[in-house]
Amino acid sequence: MAHRPERTFRQRRAESSDSDSTQEPFAEPGSPGEQANLGPAEEGLPSGGGRAEAAELPRRARGRSRGRVWASSRHAARAAPRLDGGSDVPESRAVDLSTDEEDETHRSSESKDDQSSSSNSSSSLEEEFTSLVWIHFISCPIAVARTAKTMLNRSVNIPDAAFIQAAYRKRELARAQEDYISLDVKHAFTISGMKKNTEYPESETDDHENIIPFTTKPQTLRQKMAEKTATRNEETSEDSEEDKKYQDIWEQQQMRKAVKITKGRDIDLSHSSKSQTVKKFDASISFPPVNLEIIKKQLNTRLTLLQDTHRSHLREYEKYIQDVKSSKSTIQNLENSSNQVLNFKFYKSMKVYVENLIDCLNKKIINIQEIESAMHALLVKQAMIFTKRRQDELKHESAYLQQLSRKAETSTNRSLAIDEKTQWILEEIESRRARRRQARVLSGNCTHQEGTSSDDELSSADMIDFQKSQGDILEDHKKIFEDVHDDFCNIQNILLKFQQWREKFPDSYYEAFISLCIPKLLNPLIRFQLIDWNPLKFDSIGLKQMPWFTSIAEFIDSSMEDSKKDDSSDKKILSTVISKIIIPRLTDFVEFIWDPLSTSQTTNLITQSRMILEEHSTCENEVISKGKQDLLKPIASRMKKAIDDDVFIPLYPKSAVENRMSPHSKFQERQFWSGLKLFHNILLWNELLPEDTLQELGLGKLLNRYLIIALLNAIPGPDVVKKCNQIAACLPEKWFQNSAMRTSIPQLENFIQFLLQSARKLSTSEIRDEVKEIILILVKIKALNHAESFIEEYHLDHLKSVIKEV
């Protein structure tokens, strides 16, 4: 800790060369040199001159103190308590430095006076007292009082006023000559000079004008700095002393610990050395007998432990060698790899692009769903109009003919009462039929049968409303992506981004399973392109001609993987898109819009379905099989529903149908041909639907339940044979390709029996050409055994050649 140095104001004053502008240096009268030089002069000075100088000095001091009132007033407030307390002057930090010097001079003079009191005369005591009074009278009245008290205690005679004035006079002469008083100057003052200063004693001022200043002098900058430094040192002294105390205590504790440890070690060492010495030279201690087996066993145990440790160290060493090799390999791979900064930029840009794409599609998918639902609802509404109209017309026309039959049975001449709605419906039906006949005549189609028309015409008002609604939907459809950049709505541009990824970093591309993500990303955009797609229309664009299909196909073709691998991840993109997007879209058309009685719709649907299933079957797996079943199952269900709801062939008495122009006969013919048309449309699915499903629907439910019954109720003749030929023409040739077949399929047994029955009836009549047609039908459906037995039964040997040709 730093100790505060003693305050030696006297030494600093002597060493400093700076002088205060407001304070002049004074020579110390108490010094030995000054006493030697000033002694004779002081005795010869007149009293008048001394009073004049004494009177003039206070005025100068008062004039100098007025220039710095702000500084002096601040120190005066601090000095007041110290004066009252009677403390020693060097200990006060607020007293002026000059005052301290003069006090030191006073104390030194006192000590010298005490030393020479026995040898000096009374005149020297008077000179010392005069010098002290002169100095203290100038500097501080308190010092004057203290000095006077000291001298009184020492029984010294107080000099008179004349002696004091002479001292003042001597001081003034020295200042006028050299402007300062040196500590060791030796001047010989002349009498003339003193006389000159004492010629006018009358110019002295009165006693009341010689005001003694009782406040401290203004401090200089050096004094202020010294005071502030002393204050800070004094403030930190207490803390430093306490810290030093704790530091000493801690050092003592550490020294004690070190001494104890050293002593303990010395004691242990000395004790151990003594014990070793004792053990070494103690011959009385007896060791156990040496056993060779025990030593050998201990050595083996030790050897086993060392071997185990060695093996563990070898394993660790091998592990470390492998780690070093792998680290070197990793470093080499990283050094040989492409610039990581570029890779990071690419991945970051790809991440930002995908995030923006997903954000865009999430916002647009709502609009796409709305437009898609609106278009689907419009088409469903139109299909329901056709279906409901057909069923209502069938019901009203059948009720009308039933009323005609009852009227014919009762043979009443009353007119038939028909309500206005039925009358309007019948007129509407007849007007549409007339327009269709006229259109067929203009086109030259004379082989058309009544009842095979789809009857899907709309009135002009309904057609205008439908077209207007469809146009509004398509306008909204165009506005969905009009504010989106092509990089986020064009499938080709999107796939190009992923193609760049696949070409630059194939490993990370396939590790990220991008082939599973692409179908989900493209889902909204593909649905957007399918909004105006109607697979039931003849002029509908094909699946392979769609932009999304060609873009995906090009992306797959440019794959870096082996194109011969069927399980390629990128090759599954197209099949996944078809399974997740196209098949559900097509299923909605099948369930709600498709009319199985419409040959054009069925043909277009079969074309699109075959194309989809062919592309879908490129990758055979469980998902693909499930997607195929999801499409074919609704098709079979819809055809079954059409058989149950739309097929109706009434049975009338032969008397009602003998006349080919009667309403009953016409209605029955139309319904038969309508059922036969559905039979044809069902069997068109022979290459897509399973054979058992088609045979169950076409043969079991429609042929045997409706068509055969209508044929049995008809009059045998050329018309019946023509209808049978049409039925046989609808049957798929694939079912009868086996050359070894001698009997037809079981579901055709009723149809074969009807053919044999019709042939028997026609063989007895004059119409024999129709019998040959029937035999040809039997041969076509592979009912060879039945044909041969019939030929042998009726001795139709000329027809045996027909069987042999097969």
pLDDT digits (tens, 9 = 90+) for 730-760: 999 888 888 777 788 899 999 999 999 988 8
pLDDT band at 23; cut points 50, 70, 90: very low
Count of other CB atoms within 10 angstroms of residue 102: 24
Q: What is the pLDDT at residue 272?
A: 53
| 8-state DSSP, 461 | H
Q: Output the DSSP codes for 473-494.
A: HHHHHHTTTTTS-HHHH-HHHH
Report the alpha-carbon distance of residue 440 to residue 445 in Å, rounded.
5
pLDDT band at 195; cut points 50, 70, 90: very low
pLDDT surpassing 80 at residue 389? yes
Report the alpha-carbon distance of residue 226 to residue 514 in Å, rounded.
84
Q: What is the pLDDT at residue 539?
A: 83
Q: Flag the least confident range among 203-212, 403-412, 682-691, 770-779.
A: 203-212
Backbone angles phi, psi at 418, to 5 degrees: -125, 135
pLDDT band at 726; cut points 50, 70, 90: very high
Report the alpha-carbon distance of residue 372 to residue 527 in Å, rounded.
8
Report the alpha-carbon distance of residue 397 to residue 392 in Å, rounded.
8
Count of other CB atoms within 10 angstroms of residue 735: 20
Three-state secondary-structure class, residue 181: coil
Q: What is the pLDDT at residue 617?
A: 67
- Mean pLDDT, residues 121-130 taken together: 46
Mean of per-residue pLDDT scores for the chain: 74
Q: Flag the least confident range among 173-182, 243-252, 359-368.
A: 173-182
Backbone angles phi, psi at 634, to 5 degrees: -65, -30
Which span out of 127-141, 148-162, 261-275 was modeled with the highest average pLDDT? 148-162
Q: What is the pLDDT at residue 206?
A: 47
Q: What is the pLDDT at residue 796?
A: 79
Q: What is the pLDDT at residue 588?
A: 93
Report the alpha-carbon distance of residue 681 to residue 606 in Å, rounded.
10
- Mean pLDDT, residues 459-488 taken together: 92
Report the alpha-carbon distance of residue 688 to residue 781 in Å, rounded.
21
Backbone angles phi, psi at 404, to 5 degrees: -65, -35
Which span out of 119-128, 362-371, 609-618, 730-739 was modeled with the highest average pLDDT? 362-371
Q: What is the pLDDT at residue 562?
A: 46
Report the alpha-carbon distance of residue 518 to residue 501 in Å, rounded.
13
Contact status, residue 803 vs residue 787, Cβ threshold 8 Å: yes
- Mean pLDDT, residues 288-311 taken together: 90
Q: Flag the least confident range among 45-54, 364-373, 679-688.
A: 45-54
Q: What is the pLDDT at residue 622?
A: 52
Q: Is 6 exposed, middle or buried (0-12, 13-18, 19+ CB in 10 A)?
A: exposed
Q: What is the pLDDT at residue 264?
A: 60
Contact status, residue 744 vs residue 756, Cβ threshold 8 Å: no
Q: Which string of b and e fits 501-518 if b means at least 16 CB within 10 Å?
A: bbeebeeebeeeebbeeb
pLDDT surpassing 70 at residue 767? no
Contact status, residue 215 vs residue 72, Cβ threshold 8 Å: yes
Report the alpha-carbon distance of residue 119 to residue 362 in Å, rounded.
122
510-524: pLDDT as tens digits: 899 999 999 999 999
pLDDT surpassing 50 at residue 85? no
Q: Is 495 exposed, middle or buried (0-12, 13-18, 19+ CB in 10 A)?
A: buried
Contact status, residue 201 vs residue 54, Cβ threshold 8 Å: no
pLDDT band at 68; cut points 50, 70, 90: very low
Q: What is the pLDDT at residue 501?
A: 92
Q: Is 411 exposed, middle or buried (0-12, 13-18, 19+ CB in 10 A)?
A: exposed
Q: What is the pLDDT at residue 436?
A: 80
- Mean pLDDT, residues 445-464 taken together: 78
End-to-end CA distance of the chain: 133
Report the alpha-carbon distance of residue 457 to residue 722 in Å, rounded.
29
What sign does the dihedral 539-543-544-549 (CA atoms) show? positive
Report the alpha-carbon distance of residue 129 to residue 123 in Å, rounded.
10
Q: Flag the least confident range among 96-100, 156-160, 340-344, 458-462.
A: 96-100
Q: Flag the least confident range among 135-144, 317-326, 426-435, 495-504.
A: 135-144
| 8-state DSSP, 188 | -
**CA-based nearest residue to 753, from 781, 717, 772, 732:** 781
**CA-based nearest residue to 667, from 705, 675, 724:** 675
Q: Is 529 exposed, middle or buried (0-12, 13-18, 19+ CB in 10 A)?
A: middle
pTM over 0.95: no
Contact status, residue 205 vs residue 1, Cβ threshold 8 Å: no
- Mean pLDDT, residues 772-779 taken together: 90
pLDDT surpassing 60 at residue 423? yes
610-658: pLDDT as tens digits: 988 887 665 555 555 777 888 899 999 999 999 999 999 988 888 778 8
Report the alpha-carbon distance of residue 98 to residue 26 in Å, rounded.
9
